[in-house]
Structure 1
Amino acid sequence: MGVTAPARAQRQNTKAIRRQELIEATIDQLAKRGFEGTTLADVATAAGMSRGIVNFHFDTKEKLLVETLRTLSDEYRGHWKAALKAAGADPAARLWALVSADFDKRICTPRKLGAWCAFWGEAKSRPTYRELCSANDEDYQATVIELCRDLAAPGQDHAALARVIVCMLEGLWLHLMMAPKDLKREQALASARYHLVSVFPRRFTVDGPIAAEGTP
């Protein structure tokens, strides 16, 4: 007798849940132990599963790590794109939403920052990691450049401004990971917003974007 459709769906759902649990455990271990220190045995223990179950879902540590990075990357991309969509058409509101999204408590957590930094450290020598990181980075940077072009005053180099904003955000993430006692997520968010005010004073205050003249 063949497997019924409901039973097949249940099996697939259970498999997806187990894979996600292993990915979450991998994020935890990367943040705790670093890239080289993370082993499949550590992940299995953290997830409360046997090593055999880990091997069933992911043949090798590398496959598990690639899927973990893909999950982080997809989550990050989906998050900032959703923030842009919710912000509407005004470029100031969109840039404010984009910058703020980087410090949302769903994205900017110690464990996820730790995992990201572990992957960043390996991306230079691992083409697959570099490709996964670069695809998101290029899309993000192109979006920031476009918004800065719309907001820049005559004479301002919008591409240079965009590069500074992206580097500022990456630097705050790194500071949050390296010195969490010195900088909290809320402080990092406030600093990032203040930077927007200093760069585009006619379009931002510390409380948010200012509507363009003629905008209702």
Structure 2
Amino acid sequence: MPKVGMREIRRAQLIDATLESIDQAGMSGTTLATVAQRARISTGIVSHYFGGKDALLEATMRHVLRDLGAAAQRRLKAARPQPRARLRAIVAANFDVSQVSGPVMKTWLAFWAESMHVPALRRLQHVNTRRLYSNLCAEFGKAMPRTAARRAASGLAAMIDGLWLRGATTGEPFDTKAALRLANDYIDLLLDTHASARARQRA
């Protein structure tokens, strides 16, 4: 009789091993066997819990995305209610320590590449992209009309992805402060420009 909670413990152990394997060997060098070896269990147990490599990567990315969601909730809860502060909180969540460690960044890159070929991963990527866009739209929408808010959300989402991708591919530790500074400057530019235009219209 398996111990209560053993399934969750085993899955967490295998997800950690997957992150380590992708970090050290890349996606092409990561197999059920290498994950099993790092977790010090049999390959059959990995197959039992995940079935195959795609399912294992999907579970690993769901874990990373849960960390991202938790970081966003934590930062939004602590932020002031104004759109500027909440937008900065969303940005900060995307550059949270849980998202910029070496293993996680390499797993994100592998996930993006694989999502172009694996439908389940593509759906997961679509959900993540839509969630970020929706959250940004909601906050920009408190400060500007819907069309402008959508455009601003698209621009900021692209900037977040671009800063993250550039940082991930430098081979150096991620410069979180620089990324935050650039993204926050963009938020300030959008909000201040809109506020100035609105003030001119009222004058």
TM-score surpassing 0.5?
yes
TM-score computed with the length of structure 1 as normaliser:
0.78
Contact 2:67 2:98 in 1 (8 A): no
Task: Give the CA deviation at 1:46.
Answer: 1.9
d(CA) in 2 for partners of 1:55, 1:39: 11
Shift of 1:62: 2.6
* 2:164 is the alignment partner of 1:173: yes
Among 100, 119, 139, the alignment partner of 1:108 is 100
TM-score by length of structure 2 reads: 0.83
2:126 corresponds to? 134
For residue 176 of structure 1, report the CA deviation from its aligned partner.
1.5
Mapped partners of 1:158, 1:128: distance in 2: 30
2:71 partner letter = H
Q: Which residue of 1 aligns with 2:16?
A: 24
SS of the equivalent of 2:95 reads coil
Flag structure 2 segments of 5+ consecutive residues without an equivalent. Answer: 195-203
RMSD: 2.5
Q: Structure 2 counterpart of 1:60, which letter?
A: G
Partner of 1:80: 72
Q: 1:202 to 1:93 in 2, by over 3 A?
A: farther
CA offsets 1:152-184 (integer angstroms, 9 cap, x no match)? 3x7982211111100000011111110043852
Task: For 1:180 and 1:48, locate their aligned partners in 2 and report how far apart those are by CA, in whole Å.
Answer: 29
Where does structure 1 lack aligned partners over 5 or more consecutive residues?
204-216
Q: Aligned pair in 2 of structure 1 residues 12, 160: CA closer, same or farther (>3 Å)?
A: same
For 1:83 and 1:141, locate their aligned partners in 2 and report how far apart those are by CA, in whole Å. Answer: 17
CA–CA distance in structure 2, aligned partners of residues 164 and 202 of structure 1: 15
Post-superposition Cα deviations, 1:93-136, rounded to whole Å, max 9, x if no partner, equal 21111111111212322211110110111112211001112112
Q: Bigger CA drift: 162-171 or 188-197?
A: 188-197
Q: What is the aligned partner in structure 1 of residue 154 from structure 2?
A: 163
| Counterpart Cα distance in 2 of 1:71 and 1:196 | 29
User: Following the alignment from structure 1 to structure 2, what is the Cα–Cα distance between the partners of residues 144 and 132?
Assistant: 19
Indicate conservation of the 8 Å contact 1:31/1:118, yes or no: no
8 Å contact 2:36–2:43 — kept in the other structure?
yes
Aligned residues, how many? 194
Conserved 8 A contact 2:83-2:143:
yes
| Paired position in structure 1 for 2:141 | 149
CA distance in 1, matches of 2:154, 2:20: 31
Asked if the contact 1:175/1:183 (under 8 Å) is kept, the reply is no
- Higher mean displacement: 61-70 or 80-89: 80-89
Q: Which has the higher helix share?
A: 2
